[in-house]
Chains A and B, each alone.
Chain A
Amino acid sequence: MNNDIRELLYKSLDLELTPEERQKLQDALKENPQLHAERHELVRLREALASQKNAGGFPDVTDAVMNGIQGLQTDAGNGQNSIDRYLQSAFRPLLAAAILLIVLLSGINIVKSGEVSLKAALSLQEASITEALDPTLTLLEE
């Protein structure tokens, strides 16, 4: 099939053709059943796509946006506050991860020792608190 005619076919669905172009396409559609069938397929496809448009029923975000803007203004008016908030939000996940790690390691220690106690959780069964806090002492003794 002539590529120029196919270009014209697609173009006709989105833009207005010149009288000459329109005539050329109409003649080609009369003569070429394959082109006619392609046009039919395209029209059906476009109708199916157009029917996907949402009719509405979207939530109203006006208040949320205006609150967000108020928040921006507050932050701009108080730079230190905004830095503090940034640091808080940046360190909060780190703090949570550290707590989780401590709980996990303590749990492992308790399971390993088979004893539920602070000593077991900290894995201090065989070492004194001084030794545990100063590992170099243990190394020197060895």
Chain B
Amino acid sequence: MDEREIVSRVIAGETDAFSEIVRKYQSQLFGVVQHILGNRGGAEDVVQEAFIRFYRNLANFRWESAVGTYLTRIAINLAYNEIRRKTRWLRIFTLENDHVHEISGESKTGYDDTAELIRKAISRLPEDFQKVVILRLIEGYSVKETAEILNIPIGTVLSRLKRAQEKLKNRLSPILEERHEQ
């Protein structure tokens, strides 16, 4: 069924039709949200909340972007809000401020898993760079889709990608090279 038809039916009162939207996009949202939250947990709550917020604003949805694009944008914002909320609580309840460790130090102290190193390296990037890396380089969205989801020009996506890759290359290349040689 066409998405416009589903949305029209939901607005007309056929709430059950909304489940088709959830089934169609939940994996997509989970993929992005899990990369943003990392090991923090809470992806399920964020994904649920994204759908519920979309439902609540359905009457105002103007089709300026596709449903998947709009939902992913909501989920990304909610995921970063969740990180900020958790960081605030962490700061209140712990005295540990330097929980971000140096990658080089981690590799010497037991962080041998490449995936974990990549995750840590991404988490140390500025938020705007993380978003383009997750969407374009991990989840495989096109540059155009990434631009639409983040509501920024394609040129901005390309420049953020370039700067993010330069940073990641500096941090990860020696490790990736080493792993490749082994």
Contact = CB atoms under 8 A, between A and B. Distances in A.
Interface of A: 7, 10-11, 14-15, 41-42, 44-46, 48-50, 52-54, 56, 58-62, 64-66, 68-70, 72-73
B26 A48 contact: no
16 contacts: A15-B158, A41-B177, A45-B172, A45-B176, A48-B176, A49-B133, A49-B138, A50-B140, A52-B118, A56-B27, A58-B27, A58-B31, A59-B44, A60-B23, A62-B23, A65-B48
B119 interface: yes
A15 B118 CA distance: 24
Interface of B: 15-16, 18-19, 22-23, 26-27, 30-31, 34-35, 44, 47-48, 51-52, 55-56, 114-115, 118-119, 133, 136-140, 143, 158, 161-162, 165, 168-169, 172-173, 176-177, 180
Contacts of A61: 22, 26, 44, 47-48, 51
Contacts of A64: 44, 48
A10 B30 contact: no
A138 B41 CA distance: 57
B139 A72 contact: no
For A15, A50, A69, A73, the residue with the greatest tally of chain B CB atoms inside 10 Å of its CB is A69
Nearest to A38: B169
Contacts of B23: 60, 62
The interface residues of chain B, by DSSP majority, are classed as: helix
B173 A52 contact: no
The interface residues of chain A, by DSSP majority, are classed as: helix
Contacts of B177: 41, 44
A73 B58 CA distance: 14
A64 B23 CA distance: 12
